[in-house]
Structure 1
Amino acid sequence: MRVTSNLYRTFWQLILTYNIPVSCSDGNLGPQGILVPGDILIGAVIPIHIDTLDKSVTFQEKPTSDICTKFLLQFYQQFQALRYAVEEINKSSDILPNTTLGFYAYDSCAAMRNELQGTLWMLTGLSQEIPNYRCQESPPLSAIIGHSKSTYSILMAHILGLYRFPQISCYSTSSLLSDRAQFPSFFRTVPSDVFQSRGLAQMVLHFKWTWVGLIASNDDYGFEGLKIIKDELIKGGACVAYTVYVATNQDYKNIPSIVQMIKESTANVIIAFSVDVFLIPLLDELLKQKVTGKHFVASEAWSVSNFLTLAKFSNILSGTIGFALQSSKIQGFQEYLNSVYPNNTPGIAWSKMFWEEAFNCSLSQPESQTQKLSNTKKKCIGDENLEYVQNGYNDVSTLRSSYNIYTSVYVTAKALNDLSLCQSLDGALLGSKCSGLKNFAPWQLSNGREVFFHNDGNPPAVYDLMNWQPGSDDTMKQVKVGSYDTLNSSGEIFSLNTSSVWWRTFNSEIPISVCSQICPVGFKKVVKKGEPVCCFQCIPCAQGEISNKTDSIDCWSCPWDMWPNSNRDKCILKSIEFLSYEDPLGIILAATSVLSSMVPILIFYLFILYKSTPIVRANNYSVSCVLLISLSLCLISALSFIGYPQPEKCLLRQAAFGLVFTLCVSCILAKTIIVVFAFMATKPGSNLKKWTTPRVPYMIITICTFIQLILCIFWLSIFPPFPQYNIEAKPGIIVVECNENSLFAFWCMLGYLGFLASVSFTVAFMARRLPDNFNEAKLITFSMLAFLSVWVYFIPASLSAQGKYTVAMEIFAILTSSWALVFCMFFPKCFIILFRPNMNSRENLMGKDRRRK
């Protein structure tokens, strides 16, 4: 549960009720605290151990102090960094000359009770810590360096802030501590989590991980860190698969359910914002449930942890990438560390623990303060050489927390030095007199600018990017692969050497963590109903649309004269289609049209040669010649439908086709009517004899053709056809065609032609039983039947065809219907003329007539 400021104030009121003793002690607190005297003191609440043995409370006796159990060499290095900085300053003639710095140091074991106890011990100056009371007036306490966690620092900052007592933390990164109204005297040498959280989110977005899980400790550090990360991820278009918090106490009942959620989630990347000790039970459960394939992003609190680099965690944590506090070097610190011996270091209890841990030996007693040593451990006397031991204590290759403690001592000393010189009094000392170093108020050091902090108490944010790579003995090593520097002069805040990053994937490729796979080009994203925006399905772009980038949220249409390629990622020019002379279909139809038009000419020539024969004369030679010429024109008119639709061609081709076919059908109608009139005029008393003159057929042909001419002139004048680009007929193709402009006029023209053919068919059908010498009525019946059948078929066929095939269908109808007339009307006559000349005689025709009678 997050601790609120009201709770802190309530707690403060409660502890004020303690009784204040009347005498002072020497300030020694046994193995947990030490005091090195000086003219001015600096307090340091730092963890030397990281775990405590909690005893059960019976409420029948006073609780005993917690027992610290796990001594860490790297934390002892931080204590030595404190000593080294104090000794350097005491030797320096530039900072605090003639003034000696001393320090308090307290081992908090990273436990809140101990953090509070150590802070009050330094403020009180008593073995029994008393709030709001200080027994020792001299030497003055200038500042306190601490505390180990953000939650603890918030608690201490409320207490220390009442008196503007400077507090400099080397560990606490919570963004809450940047509030100067609540924490006016809090400073830190580590950046605020605001920078880290934004940086982690930027790194996740850099790797295009849009579907991530969030894990944090359930304290101020975790709550505030995840809040900023989540906001930044959402701003960047990523989504959070789940958010869970790991308990910071020893009740790990929710760990199995958390791991089950991780296991079932499709998110392959997990941002863990916690300290290392809280992740250990989670990692153990991941091993127990055999969860693999997840990649961790580490916050600075565990990105360089030595606890988690064990071989058993390598299958889970190798490939981890995260932020770490910037590493630095301290000149001469390596030699200083190796010069430490148990008998030359303050804090005898700590030095013995360190020596036994460093050399794995027993120093003068079989049982140390933290653990019972095995009888198999060797004895040591305290003069062993640390230069031959490589461990977390004397490893100075990547100083982080130790360097921050070193810096904290120096900025405190610099603030004291400025105070002694009355420099920069535009801050807390504005309008005040200078104070001596023996008599100053702690609040006089609380000037953020003077101690090189920003106005919110934060230092500049600089992080190292660490990658966990396989090392020797199946353990892992932490390799720097980049940096995150908010003050980079080049403007490149985030820099990463991608080639040096190791991933736990095939060929060390960057892991993929998305809710839905990337939509390729030619597709668009459609969010799944009721799911985050990162969970979507890929829908192909609609016909005529493209998308030329991955994960496109929309497709856009191509220009009217362009069409998507097969991948639908770019527009290409549409192909143009028309029935051309280069097209095989066009060549066939053109050749058929030309060759077919020669047949009526040949028949016409044959009729000229045999114009005096009975069969030619009996079938109206003149009208037959006109019919043959019109049939040749009908067949050759098909050529006007082939080739690029020029404006002139579109204007005249349908009218020309209609007129020549009207002439053709009019000739047949004239022949039919003359046959009927000629037969009926032979009957006694018939009045039709006057209609059998040679002028009647020409009158019929002229009148019928003239009506069609008037229709065509009206059509071409009012609604002239024109060429057009049809982009709707066939996808991806521009069909160049003739627009008839008025379908009504077109169908009137075609309907009139059909009307003439129907009349001719009806009259011929009624005259089919006339004597054989007038047998042309039968031929006309068959020819008109074929003609009408072709055009009746053409209507639905033309409606179903598209593009050039519509034109081809009309040409086919023209050729077929023309051939039907040629075949039915003239082939029988030609056969008699050429192959049965004996039948082409007056006697034969008359003889047949008599036998029939």
Structure 2
Amino acid sequence: MFAMNEINQNVHLLPNKTLSPIFGHNYQNEMGDCSGTMYLLFLKQGSPLNYICGKAYKLMTIIGGLTSHNSKQMPHILNTYKMPQLSYASFDPALSDKVQFPSLYRMIPSESPQYVGIIQLLQHFGWTWIGLVVSDDDTGEILLRTLIPRMHQSNICTAFKEIIPAVKNLWDKTTETQRLLEEISSVLSSTKTEVILAHGASRSMVGLQRILILQEREMKPIERVWIVTAQWDFSSVYDSGAFALKSFNGTLSFTLHTRDMGEYEEFLRTLNPNRSRLYLIHWFWSNVFMCSFPKSNFYQMEGGTSICTGEEDLGSLSEIVFEMRMSGQSYSIYNAVYSVAHALHAMFSSRSKQKAMGDGSASNLLNVYPWQLHSFLKNVRFNNTAGEEIYFDKNGALAAGYDITNTVTFPNRSLHRVRVGKIDPQAPEGKKFSINGSAIVWNHKYNQSLPQSTCVESCQPGHSRILQQGKQICCYDCPQCSEGMISNKTDADHCKKCPEDQHPNKDHDHCISKQIVYLSYGEPLGIILTSFALSLSLITLVVMWIFIQNQETPIVKANNWNITCTLLISLLLCFLCSFLFIGQPGKITCLLRQTVFGIVFSLAVSCVLAKTLTVVLAFMATKPGNRMRKWVGKRLAVSVIILCTLIQTGICALWLATSPSFPEFDMHSQTTQIIVQCNEGSAPMFYTVLGYMGLLAITSFTVAFFARKLPDTFNEAKLITFSMLVFCSVWISFVPTYLSTKGKYMVAVEIFSILASSAGLLGCIFFPKFYIIVLRPELNTRDQLIRKKNDNI
């Protein structure tokens, strides 16, 4: 009536034409649907089939019915006459079948966006453990068949699924019905889930209303987060006493999209049943205001004393009983009337054009038929008075979305409904679903904190979910991520590895950069080794300077000054080569590190071997007739040193030519560190260098050992034996220690071995001579040398 009043007053829409309503009533059975439809179809003339007479207006379309049952029964008759039908409240997806229902248009959106919205709503608040209560009809079956698979895909589980049986009225006392409702009531009261989704048409959910009301009367309200689908207008009751006030406080409901219209509220305030032609308005008025109309026998309230004046204010009624705002269903009817009006306007405009072109039949505007309206209805597209665009999609459903409404109840049995979100299928991707969580008033049970509904406590970052055997996917354990793995979000399905240059923090919830590690000059270990290397180098220089200053003394001359000088220089290089191992490895240092070490050490050991052979040959040459005399001299010592050193140099050259060392970042040996090290390139070549050096050392040790008792004033064989014993001991222990360490400690082991073995050679061979030259110079004389030699003989 409100829409028709606006249209009839609009001079631009259907000018000089008047829309007029005919009201009919359908019942909840096939016979009632058929008779009500026939009653409307033939203009209240006793339903004479295919016969209409005596009327100056035409029936062009029917808007209805309320339930899916009505909407599916009516088209079977209306299709015969190709009469357009606009359904304003039926969600049955079967109505989208244009083959079976070619004349039906749905003024509500498809159910599919609502299913998507339910999933997104649950995900938004992190609810993964919910209960389902659905009606025992096709509507409930469709939801279970459609929604549950989508929930499982989104890792949302159902704590229970309850089917509400159909009841005739709120207090149906049928024994079987009573038993089923008591079982469902027990489940709803004992469940630990905090979120329950209720779905079904209003008449089908009477049983659930009864459960909730009884629980509240027993002071045991089922206070949960109720999510109600658009099919059930749970707050629409005539008696505020038949509303579960505490249970439904904080409810989130999907509702048909609507817009507030101030004109509509004004229209309601001016309604007077004595002047209005609204269908059943007297019955409605007498029920909600508990009064009687004195001149009517049909609208008398039993025991009622008050008289309906018609001036009662609808705005004074509780919102549970009557809403002054335009509800979703009212908005759908409003748009349905306007859709018909715009389709008629388009059709009449088309006929006016034909008239202008000389078509005489087009001039009779009453010569129109309902079937002619279809082509205009399918393509109707207009902006309603609220500024929203109205049109039908390819399935004949209104291209619209849903509102998400928060219902807040008050102790005085009033309620307030606030729109807190929406689902808009026509919006850009990412904006189809929106919700304002801060605007939601939750049930007072939660003290305005966000309700939680999960099977188990959420897995915190640093943990991952492992399904509990035999349970749903929402029930899981939360072991901590293993070494090297992290999870940085709640309820992670699995842990993930950190990048190679990062490692997990203590809580395994994010990655942090690994520390770059090498043996640096600034750390304590580097300082100590550097100090030792510098000190030993300085000592070597001091020894060399003392020996140079005293090179003409007997003790220096007796020990082959040239070999001694070469040995001291090689030992100095050994101490200095340790600096190649300290600091961040580079391309040059990696190339020089092992090769320089191998060559200078081979030079040092070759010098020791040359000194040992010189001592042995010198003793053998003193015997009469010995042929070894010709080998005694500088050429033998030089030849030994050069040959042995060249062999090691050749090995190192081959190593550099085939597989040289190079710097690398070892990111895997240590969890929290990146080790900057030199990759030796070829491990066999590295151990060949060490092996050759060991061969020289063992040879020197063996020769010196057997020559240790040879008579000599300053018998170097004994000193060389001790020095090579120290040298071999250091490098034999080096190999297992080197292989058992990692990173900078491996380098430190090699530096220590270099310094210790070199210091052993320096100390064992030169300290006794240094002691005599510096502290006992009286022993460094030719007489003392000859006397001691004779004593030995």
TM-score (norm 2): 0.75
Residue 461 (1) aligns with residue 461 (2):
no
* In structure 2, C-alpha distance between the alignment counterparts of 1:419 and 1:662, rounded to whole Å: 109
Paired residues of 1:295 and 1:319 also in contact (CA < 8 A): yes
Q: Give 2:326's aligned residue.
A: 398
> Is the partner of 1:817 in helix, strand or coil?
helix
The runs of 5 or more residues in structure 2 that have no matched partner are 168-176, 381-390
Match of 2:287 among 331, 354, 357: 357
Residue 323 (1) aligns with residue 251 (2):
no
Q: Give 2:571's aligned residue.
A: 631
Q: Give 1:173's aligned residue.
A: 91
Q: Give 1:340's aligned residue.
A: 272
* In structure 2, C-alpha distance between the alignment counterparts of 1:476 and 1:408, rounded to whole Å: 29
C-alpha offsets along residues 687-739 of structure 1, whole Å, 9 cap, x if unaligned? 44444455543443343333333433444455544445555555565544444
* In structure 2, C-alpha distance between the alignment counterparts of 1:486 and 1:498, rounded to whole Å: 20
* In structure 1, C-alpha distance between the alignment counterparts of 2:559 and 2:17, rounded to whole Å: 146
AA aligned to 2:417 is: Q
C-alpha offsets along residues 738-786 of structure 1, whole Å, 9 cap, x if unaligned? 4443333332222222111101211222233445746433322221111
Match of 2:25 among 106, 111, 126: 106
C-alpha offsets along residues 278-331 of structure 1, whole Å, 9 cap, x if unaligned? 335346657599765544143253265357997745345514142234255484
Paired residues of 2:254 and 2:402 also in contact (CA < 8 A): no
* In structure 2, C-alpha distance between the alignment counterparts of 1:292 and 1:732, rounded to whole Å: 51
Deviates more, 1:200-209 or 1:292-301: 200-209
Q: Give 1:301's aligned residue.
A: 232
Deviates more, 1:788-797 or 1:656-665: 656-665
Shift of 1:542: 9.0
Q: Give 1:314's aligned residue.
A: 246
Match of 1:790 among 730, 745, 750: 730
Residue 479 (1) aligns with residue 418 (2):
yes
Paired residues of 2:14 and 2:341 also in contact (CA < 8 A): yes
Shift of 1:229: 5.2
* In structure 2, C-alpha distance between the alignment counterparts of 1:90 and 1:634, rounded to whole Å: 110
Shift in CA distance, 446/616, structure 1 to aligned 2, threshold 3 Å = closer
* In structure 1, C-alpha distance between the alignment counterparts of 2:293 and 2:210, rounded to whole Å: 34
Q: Give 2:596's aligned residue.
A: 656
> Is the partner of 2:603 in helix, strand or coil?
helix
Paired residues of 2:198 and 2:228 also in contact (CA < 8 A): yes
Shift of 1:816: 0.2
AA aligned to 1:358 is: V
AA aligned to 1:481 is: V
Paired residues of 1:323 and 1:466 also in contact (CA < 8 A): yes
Paired residues of 1:328 and 1:398 also in contact (CA < 8 A): yes
* In structure 1, C-alpha distance between the alignment counterparts of 2:205 and 2:709, rounded to whole Å: 110
Shift in CA distance, 825/106, structure 1 to aligned 2, threshold 3 Å = same
> Is the partner of 1:320 in helix, strand or coil?
strand
Please give the residue correspondences for 1:428-507 in structure 2 after superposition, counting only pairs within 5 Å: 443=371, 449=377, 454=392, 456-461=395-400, 463-473=402-412, 476-484=415-423, 496-504=435-443
For these two proteins, the number of residue pairs brought into alignment is 756
Shift in CA distance, 624/176, structure 1 to aligned 2, threshold 3 Å = same
* In structure 2, C-alpha distance between the alignment counterparts of 1:106 and 1:536, rounded to whole Å: 54
Paired residues of 2:347 and 2:376 also in contact (CA < 8 A): no
Shift of 1:638: 1.8
* In structure 1, C-alpha distance between the alignment counterparts of 2:558 and 2:324, rounded to whole Å: 127
C-alpha offsets along residues 589-613 of structure 1, whole Å, 9 cap, x if unaligned? 2222122022233334444555566
Residue 246 (1) aligns with residue 152 (2):
no
* In structure 2, C-alpha distance between the alignment counterparts of 1:419 and 1:696, rounded to whole Å: 125
Shift of 1:788: 0.5
Q: Give 2:309's aligned residue.
A: 383
AA aligned to 1:461 is: A
AA aligned to 1:671 is: K
Deviates more, 1:759-768 or 1:446-455: 446-455
AA aligned to 1:301 is: W
Please give the residue correspondences for 1:817-836 in structure 2 after superposition, counting only pairs within 5 Å: 817-835=757-775
> Is the partner of 2:408 in helix, strand or coil?
strand
AA aligned to 1:379 is: T
* In structure 2, C-alpha distance between the alignment counterparts of 1:168 and 1:319, rounded to whole Å: 30
Residue 150 (1) aligns with residue 89 (2):
no
Please give the residue correspondences for 1:566-645 in structure 2 after superposition, counting only pairs within 5 Å: 566=505, 576-608=516-548, 616=556, 619-645=559-585
Q: Give 2:199's aligned residue.
A: 273
Paired residues of 2:83 and 2:103 also in contact (CA < 8 A): yes
Shift of 1:820: 1.1
* In structure 1, C-alpha distance between the alignment counterparts of 2:636 and 2:347, rounded to whole Å: 135
RMSD of aligned Cα (Å):
5.4
Shift in CA distance, 176/252, structure 1 to aligned 2, threshold 3 Å = farther
* In structure 2, C-alpha distance between the alignment counterparts of 1:340 and 1:630, rounded to whole Å: 120
Match of 2:702 among 756, 759, 762: 762
Match of 1:800 among 737, 740, 759: 740
C-alpha offsets along residues 254-297 of structure 1, whole Å, 9 cap, x if unaligned? 66776787789887554433224433534665759976554414
Paired residues of 2:617 and 2:631 also in contact (CA < 8 A): yes
* In structure 2, C-alpha distance between the alignment counterparts of 1:318 and 1:619, rounded to whole Å: 104
Shift of 1:384: 7.0
Paired residues of 1:272 and 1:299 also in contact (CA < 8 A): no
C-alpha offsets along residues 127-166 of structure 1, whole Å, 9 cap, x if unaligned? 9x99x85898555883554323102321232233233344
Q: Give 1:27's aligned residue.
A: none
Deviates more, 1:500-509 or 1:252-261: 252-261
* In structure 2, C-alpha distance between the alignment counterparts of 1:176 and 1:232, rounded to whole Å: 20
Paired residues of 2:248 and 2:409 also in contact (CA < 8 A): no
The runs of 5 or more residues in structure 1 that have no matched partner are 1-80
Shift in CA distance, 649/98, structure 1 to aligned 2, threshold 3 Å = closer
> Is the partner of 1:473 in helix, strand or coil?
coil
AA aligned to 1:466 is: T
Shift in CA distance, 203/750, structure 1 to aligned 2, threshold 3 Å = closer
> Is the partner of 2:543 in helix, strand or coil?
helix
Q: Give 1:29's aligned residue.
A: none
Paired residues of 2:463 and 2:495 also in contact (CA < 8 A): yes
Q: Give 1:746's aligned residue.
A: 686
AA aligned to 1:157 is: P
AA aligned to 2:82 is: R
Deviates more, 1:595-604 or 1:417-426: 417-426
AA aligned to 1:471 is: F
Shift in CA distance, 432/511, structure 1 to aligned 2, threshold 3 Å = farther
* In structure 1, C-alpha distance between the alignment counterparts of 2:552 and 2:429, rounded to whole Å: 109
Paired residues of 2:202 and 2:231 also in contact (CA < 8 A): no
Shift in CA distance, 137/624, structure 1 to aligned 2, threshold 3 Å = same
Shift in CA distance, 347/808, structure 1 to aligned 2, threshold 3 Å = closer
Deviates more, 1:435-444 or 1:178-187: 435-444
AA aligned to 1:357 is: N
C-alpha offsets along residues 631-672 of structure 1, whole Å, 9 cap, x if unaligned? 223222222333444544443443332233223222322333
Paired residues of 2:581 and 2:593 also in contact (CA < 8 A): yes
TM-score (norm 1): 0.71
